[in-house]
Every structure is written in structure tokens, then in C-alpha cells.
Amino acid sequence: MNLDWSPEDKAFAADHAALLERELTEDIRDAGRHATSVYPDHEASMAWQLKLNAAGLAAPHWPLEHGGKEWSVAQHYLYANEKAKAGAPSLSPMGIHMVAHVIAAFGTPEQKDYFLPRILTGEVFFCQGYSEPNAGSDLAALQMSAISDGEDFILNGSKIWTTHAQEANWIFCLVRTSSEGRKQQGITFILVPMDRDGITVRPLTMLSGETVQNQVFFDDARVPKANVIGEVDEGWRVAKYLLEFERGGSAYSAGLRIRAQAIEKHALAQMRGDRPYYEHGDFAQRLARAMIRIDVLEVLELKLLSSADRGQSVGAMSSLMKIMGTELAQHLTELALEVAGPSGSVFQPHPTRPGADIPDYQAPEDGYVSGETWQAIAPLQYLNERAGSIYAGSNEVQRNILAKAVLGL
């Protein structure tokens, strides 16, 4: 087996590394490297999306006819790796990485023509309306109602943990259009403009102090039936298709490897007594085990990308990717917080680039930071990553999916 990159692959990586170096401004790069969660500074992320779109690189994973690239699996991987190495911020996934695939697969020609180009430019910016106060990982328990009224549906209910709802101008929602049959039946997937009368957004303060998440309330909000994706009452199939991309549509390994390497660098530089922290106890062994798990995840991601490239459904593999990626990310934040030492216990978000406002926080007038910027980021990333094993379906639910789909239990 030849595990070396071909000369063409090496040239591809070098070309895109050079492009990233040219296009990444200091502010955008800073937003990527100093992000406190998977959601970087919103304005910087959108500015980066515009630059990538101008270069034809905002959504290389999309179908070719909608603006994607005819790249090999290796090239997709190399591009993700170069972005991680360059410190580029991630793009908000709800549009480009989630609902766009649904629109491309299930949308009408008119829906594709309207939404897909505007998602690329940021003119249409989506948030996700899946979870409800009593329907999170058990998504089919949702109760937000959509009552037929002529050419419209009238929506009542609420969605929770809605990332970027305060910035979004559209939300894709799962709504209940019928209560007959099994709970997975009678669900409809619909696109809703956020400026409709009867829609209210209430920010939620996270453990890190950020207000990236929200609860969205619908009180007799009227939406055209033409905004339904797929068929009325058949939205569960559409919803599951989207979840394949939410859970396994991103390559975790490239970014995780960069983070692990940064932890190693800091652990070698941080002295505890007369030795670097890297040499204390079993820290080096624990970090090495994490790096081995990242290598395993990388192989599985390449297998998944290869399946998707052949038009095959990633199916239960997306659950495996979600479990491994989020649990590794959580473990790395624990190692980083450990290395940060006493400075990692200080709440000091002012030198970082949070994904949203932190209400009521007052930065020191002189800008003082205890330790270095990475030590200020460590506790915020630790707190934010606690949600990783919950969102997109808790990891316990993902293990149940694997038990049924793979083991037949």
C-alpha cells in the first residue's frame, strides 16, 4: 500500500496553502486561532466566507452543478488540512454544510435556484430549528405545530439551542403537521423567514458567558406552503438526511491534530518546578494516546469521504464520526486546561474572539491578561466543548444507533 501523497496532491496542497496565505487577513486569522468554540467571531467568519466564495472555495463539497469542486477524496482532505494549519476560522455550518445538501437533494428547481447561490454569498443565512424544550435527542417527539390555512401554514411553538438565531434571516424547521401514526410520521421540513410577524428570539447565556445559542418562539407565524422541502408529513426522511451531514459531514481530524500539536508545544514550554509539564506524570502518554486516536479518526474520515464521493449514504458512519470527533475534542480541552495551570482558572475572555457577545463582562481597563492568550482560551473552550457530546443527537443516542444499525441489537 502506498501511503505517500502523489506529486499532484503535493502541488494541490501547496497551491491552496499559498491561496490561504494570500487571502487570510490578520483579523480573520486571529478570529480562527483565538476562537473559544466551534463558532468563531461571526463577522470575521462571514468576511472569510465572502473571500472563499470569490475564489470558488466556499463549498467545494457541494455538487458540481451548484458550485462544488470536482476534487478527489484526497484533495478534499488536503484542503481541510491546509485550512486548519493556516488558522482559518470555520464557517457557520447550518447553511453551507447542512440545509444546502437538503435543498440540493429534495428541493424544487425554484428552491435550488433561489437559496443555493444566496447561501454561498451569505445573503441567506440559516439557523437550525430542530430541538425543542421536550424534544432534543428524541427529535421525533417534537410538538411545534403547523396548521394548514389555505396556501400557508400557521406555526406555533418554540425551538431551542438555536445557534446564530440573532444573526440569521432564515431558519429551517421541523414542524408537526399531523399527529396520526408513529411519532416519526406527520413531520414536515419547512424554511421560514425570520422576519415574519410572530417570531421572537431570546438569547441563552452559555457556561462560557457567550450568547451564541437562543430560543426562538413562534406565535401564529404564517409561512407559505411553497417553503416546504420534500413532501408534507414526510419530513422525517429529510431530517435524517441532514443529520448525516451535521454529525459526520465535517472532517474533525485536521483541526484536532493542530490543537494537539499546540498542546504539546505549550506543555514543553510550561515549566513545573525544574521540568516541562510535558514530562510530569503520565501527561506525555495521555497526549500520545489522543494523537493515536486522531490518526484512527483520520482513516475513518477518509473512508467516509470515499463513500460519499461514490454517492453512497454515510449512514451510521456519521454517528461514529460524531462520537469520536466530539469526545476527542472534549479530551483535548481537558489536556489544554491542565497545561494552562492557575491562569486557566481565570475568566478573562477579552483577549479571545468569542462567537457572540458576553453580556455584563467588563474587561480590565489596562487590558491585563493572566498568563498568555492561549491560557485565557483554554477554560472557555473547555466549557463550550461540554455541549459537543449533546448537540446533533447525544452520544448516548449515537451509540444506540450504531448498536442497531451495525450490530443488529
246 as an active site residue: the answer is: yes
C-alpha cell read off for 174: 421541523
Q: Which amino acid is at 375?
A: Q
The angle subtended at Cα 384 by Cα 378 and Cα 386, nearest 5°, is 105
Q: How far is residue 35 CA from its own chain's centroid? A: 13
- Give me the catalytic one of 82, 132, 244, 246: 246
Distances (CA, A) of 139 to 88, 144, 236: 33, 11, 10
- Is residue 39 within 8 A of residue 212, CB to CB? The reply is yes
**Rounded to an integer, what distance in angstroms lies between the CA atom of residue 172 and that of residue 381?**
27
The contacts of residue 220 (CB under 8 Å, 6+ apart) are 154, 155, 156, 197, 198
Question: Around Cβ 96, how many Cβ atoms within 10 Å?
Answer: 24
Phi and psi, residue 196, nearest 5°: -70, 145
Question: Around Cβ 94, how many Cβ atoms within 10 Å?
Answer: 25
The contacts of residue 194 (CB under 8 Å, 6+ apart) are 127, 165, 168, 169, 170, 171, 201
- Is residue 339 within 8 A of residue 267, CB to CB? The reply is yes
Q: Of 290, 287, 309, give the one whose Cα is nearest residue 252.
A: 290
Grouping H, G, I as helix, E, B as strand and the rest as coil, residue 31 is: helix
Q: How far is residue 305 CA from its own chain's centroid? A: 17
Residue 180's Cβ-count burial label (10 Å; 0-12, 13-18, 19+) is exposed
Pair type for strands 126-129 and 170-176 = parallel
In 249-282, which residue ranges form alpha helices assigned H by DSSP? 252-269
**Rounded to an integer, what distance in angstroms lies between the CA atom of residue 93 and that of residue 316?**
20
Element (H, E) at 174: strand 170-176
Q: Which amino acids are annotated catalytic?
A: 246
